[in-house]
Amino acid sequence: MYELMVKDIFSAAHNLRGYKGKCERVHGHNYTVEAYFTASELDSIGLAVDFNDLKRSLKKITDTLDHRYLNKEIKYFRTNNTSAENIARYIYEGLKKTVKKILVSKVCVWESDGSMAAYYEEHC
């Protein structure tokens, strides 16, 4: 098995609905996103997939989140809280729709240097 990872960043504002504390108020983060992929085979030149293709797919999603107020401007987050966990799932599901050559295995969203949430699905 081969594992690949690409990384991107975006900045966005949000607030956690139902949270009792300062994160209930509107605030922002400079998010770092790591997207992990797995492949069992390589092509004729020894690549699982071109990193540029993976970076473009991730960038397409993070660009829709960049400099947005997630709670109001992104439909998914009108009903799903804007936790790092849900942001990771949102990005994971977006990548699953666009990356077809290899398997999306995990998405990690860092909202600070010391706080990260990951989303992945169990694969049998």
Q: Is 79 contained in some domain?
A: yes
Q: Give the separation between CA 69 and CA 77, rounded to whole angstroms.
A: 10
Q: Is 40 contained in some domain?
A: yes
- Please pick, among 108, 111, 121, 122, the residue that the annotation labels catalytic: 111
Burial class (CB in 10 A: 0-12, 13-18, 19+), 122: exposed
- Please pick, among 23, 73, 85, 93, the residue that the annotation labels catalytic: 23
Specify the CATH number for the domain of residue 59. 3.30.479.10
Q: Is 70 contained in some domain?
A: yes
- Please pick, among 3, 24, 27, 67, the residue that the annotation labels catalytic: 67
67 is catalytic: yes
Q: Is 124 contained in some domain?
A: no
Residue 45 CB-half CA count within 13 A: 2
- Compute the mean pLDDT over every residue in the chain, rounded to the nearest whole number: 96
Q: pLDDT digit string (tens) for 13-44?
A: 999 999 999 999 999 999 999 999 999 999 99
Number of structural domains in the chain:
1
Residue appearing with tokens 């790591």: 34
- Helical (H) or strand (E) element with 12: strand 2-14
Q: Is 100 contained in some domain?
A: yes
Whether 12 and 63 have beta carbons less than 8 Å apart is answered as no
Q: Give the separation between CA 111 and CA 16, rounded to whole angstroms.
A: 13
**Tokens standing for 84?**
């790092």
pLDDT at 113 (0 to 100): 95
Domain range for 14:
2-119
Strand partners, 12: 29, 68
